[in-house]
Amino acid sequence: MDYYNRTSLQSQASIISNNLVSISEQLSENRELLSSLVAYPAPSFPGRTHAGALQELLRTKLDPRVEDWVAQGRTSGASALEDKKKNGLSERELAELWEWAPIGANVEARRRIWGGNFTLEEKEMGIQNVVTGLTRQPEDDDSEADEDGEEAVDEDDEMEVMGAHRKVGGVGVELSRPVSGAVPLDEIFRYMMTGVWPKSGNA
Amino acid sequence: MHELLLFASVPGQQHHELLQQLTGLTAAQPTHRLERHLVFKAYRRPGSVNTRIGGSQDLQAPEIQRLTKMLNGAMFYTQVVGPVTEKDFGSVPLSQFTARSTVNDKRPAEGDQGNWYDFEDQRWRLEFRDIPEPGARTTVTTRLMANATLPRGDVLTPMNAWGYSFVTEYIMEGDVFIHNDIVLFLYRVLTFPADSHDPQPPRQTLPALREMIPLDRSGGYVLQAVVIVTDGSNPEIMKLASQRLLGLKEQLKSAVKLEQADRLSLDTRVK
């Protein structure tokens, strides 16, 4: 439910923003014309019933409220531009960053022992404190094996069980790839719908 | 009516386990279902549709145009489905049975234990399924559907009269579960053994069930989850139905992977 609301919200927002962009384009494109236009009511204009609209049209100065909006918009626009100047990286800086990043990452990676489930730092801090976000407890293989032989055996057993579990769970993954010799779903459907014999599998 | 569907391919070795899981999920024993499916193909009889192409000067009235479009529009494969029971398989036709029996009654007596299959008394229903709706609007397969009851017995004559020719027939065997609004059907397709029987008209007798050949010889099954919506034009209900299906998909995620089918594989249009 939530999901659907969010996507519709997003699409609505993008529609609104697209409309705003096209309005602003129109305004800036026709700026000269619009600023030189003068409103002049024809006698046929229903002045009585549309007095409010008439007044708005004949204004030479903006409504104070509108003027506030405009000022607000101008300042926020200016500040946005300034932010961009202040925070954005220049080409040179970006190039520098990209030059440094792979090497930096490599250096950082060398400091960790990869392959285990935990980093050296985390082990020193105590692995029970690490927030992994996993529901199953990742076994910390090598350190435990060093400490206690018997426990390591238990650990191994458990790992094998885990492996088996994975295989069973893996069926779900394997499903999308048909078992060898099996007729793919779409060919079964085609036979069911139109009597076209499957190409694969059976003769 | 519309139906919303999700499918999953189930390997043979997982079949029993899945049956148990579905029994657990729906808290009910499955209902075994055996169906004869006769596939019919629409054909256009020459001269039956009088369209005059050319002479575009005189524009036809919109109603005529619409009618022409309907008549010349897509033609479809349709199915005639008849429920059968296990004892209908490998049994003798009623005529032979009565001929063998000493009683001269047209029908065997009520208490008679014999196995006979009466094609003349076979119930049939016509099942029309449109090609699934295009577009990735939802993640379930949606298609227009309609069922109609047909007279018992010989279906070939009326179907031919309506412009349908018999293509082939097969048996759908499986188990049905009901889970809230969703009908789950775990089935496999059985084809008839290649025997001396003339493949053209539908069979009057059924061979023994064990002689039937699964279409998927690896023993695989298909799990089909379907929600039927009477008013397919109501987007609220359609959305609700697809949400139900997606909920089930999530629930069964660890057991089977329910997915929408390839649209063109369910194409029922005659090309």
Q: How far is CA A149 from the centre of its chain?
A: 47
Chain B closest CA to A4's CA: distance in Å? 10
From the candidates B6, B164, B265, which should be mutated to test the interface with A, based on the most A CB atoms within 10 A? B265
Query: Is A159 inside a domain boundary?
Result: yes
In chain B, what residues touch A189 (CB-CB under 8 Å)? 7, 261-262, 265-266
Query: Is B175 inside a domain boundary?
Result: yes
User: Which of A157-161, B9-13, B35-39 is predicted least confidently?
Assistant: A157-161
Long-range contacts of residues B241-244, Cβ cutoff 8 Å, at least 24 apart? B241/B4, B241/B181, B242/B4, B242/B138, B242/B139, B242/B140, B242/B142, B243/A1, B244/B180, B244/B181, B244/B182
Query: Is A121 inside a domain boundary?
Result: yes
Where in the sequence is the domain holding B198, given as residue range(s)?
Answer: 2-86+125-266
> How many Å apart are CA B179 and CA A164, to the nearest integer?
31
Stronger pLDDT, B251 or A174, i.e. the higher one: B251
Across the range B75-87, mean pLDDT stands at 91
Name the token pair of B157.
């004559």
From the candidates B218, B259, B270, which should be mutated to test the interface with A, based on the most A CB atoms within 10 A? B218
Residues 29-68 of A with CB under 8 A from B: none
Query: Is B101 inside a domain boundary?
Result: no
Q: Could you report the per-residue pLDDT of A110-124, keeping only the tens digit for each?
A: 776 556 666 666 767
pLDDT mean across residues, chain B: 83
Query: Is B116 inside a domain boundary?
Result: no
Work out how many domains chain B is built from and give that number: 1
Query: Is B271 inside a domain boundary?
Result: no
Same domain? A106 vs A118: yes
CB B220 to CB A179 under 8 A?
Answer: yes
Work out how many domains chain A is built from and give that number: 2
User: Which of A78-92, B46-60, B131-145 is predicted least confidently?
Assistant: B46-60
Instruction: Name, in order, each residue with C-beta under 8 angstroms of B120's C-beta and a sequence gap of 6 or more.
Output: B94, B152, B153, B154
CA-based nearest residue in chain B for residue A197: B215
Chain B closest CA to A154's CA: distance in Å? 27
Q: Which pLDDT value is given to residue B233?
A: 86
Query: Is A21 inside a domain boundary?
Result: no
Query: Is A160 inside a domain boundary?
Result: yes
Same domain? A130 vs A152: no
Where in the sequence is the domain holding A168, given as residue range(s)?
Answer: 139-203
Stronger pLDDT, A135 or B28, i.e. the higher one: B28
Query: Is A35 inside a domain boundary?
Result: no
Instruction: Name, in order, each residue with C-beta under 8 angstroms of B128's C-beta and a sequence gap of 6 or more.
Output: B76, B78, B145, B146, B147, B148
CB A184 to CB B9 under 8 A?
Answer: yes
Same domain? A162 vs A183: yes
CA dihedral of B17, B18, B21, B27, whole degrees rounded to 10: -120
Choose among A152, A146, A105: nearest CA to A123: A146
Q: Is B37 on the interface with A (CB under 8 A)?
A: yes
Chain A closest CA to B178's CA: distance in Å? 22
Query: Is B158 inside a domain boundary?
Result: yes
* Amino acid letter, A201: G
CB B268 to CB A193 under 8 A?
Answer: yes
Name the token pair of B234.
């109501």
Q: Could you report the per-residue pLDDT of B203-233, keeping only the tens digit for each?
A: 888 888 888 999 988 889 999 999 999 988 8
In chain B, what residues touch A184 (CB-CB under 8 Å)? 9
Same domain? A143 vs A133: no
Query: Is A98 inside a domain boundary?
Result: yes
pLDDT band at A161 (very low <50, low <70, confident <90, very high): very low
Query: Is B29 inside a domain boundary?
Result: yes
Across the range B8-37, mean pLDDT stands at 92
Percent of chain A with pLDDT over 90: 11
User: What is the residue whose two structure tokens read 């024809």?
Assistant: A42
Same domain? A145 vs A200: yes
Query: What are the DSSP E strand ranges found in chain A?
Result: none
Q: Which pLDDT value is given to residue B185?
A: 96
Read off the CATH number of the domain in which B153 is found: 2.40.320.10
In chain A, what residues touch B9 (CB-CB under 8 Å)? 175, 178, 182, 184-185
In chain A, what residues touch B216 (CB-CB under 8 Å)? 182-183, 188, 201
Count the Cβ atoms, other than its own, within 10 Å of residue B268: 22
B92-93 and B116-117: which strand pairing? parallel
> How many Å apart are CA B236 and CA B246, to the nearest integer?
15
Q: How far is CA B132 from the centre of its chain?
A: 15
pLDDT band at A168 (very low <50, low <70, confident <90, very high): very low
Quick check: B242 pLDDT over 80?
A: yes
CA-based nearest residue in chain A for residue B41: A194
Query: Is A78 inside a domain boundary?
Result: no
As a whole number of Å, the end-to-end CA separation of chain A is 48
Q: Is A188 on the interface with B (CB under 8 A)?
A: yes
Name the token pair of A60.
């030479």
Chain A closest CA to B50's CA: distance in Å? 28
Q: Is A182 on the interface with B (CB under 8 A)?
A: yes
Choose among B271, B261, B270: nearest CA to B132: B261
Choose among A185, A198, A181, A182: nearest CA to B222: A185
Quick check: A143 pLDDT over 50?
A: no
pLDDT band at A200 (very low <50, low <70, confident <90, very high): low
Q: Is A11 on the interface with B (CB under 8 A)?
A: no
Q: Could you report the per-residue pLDDT of B174-195, keeping only the tens digit for each?
A: 999 999 899 999 999 999 888 7
Same domain? A154 vs A127: no
Same domain? A160 vs A132: no
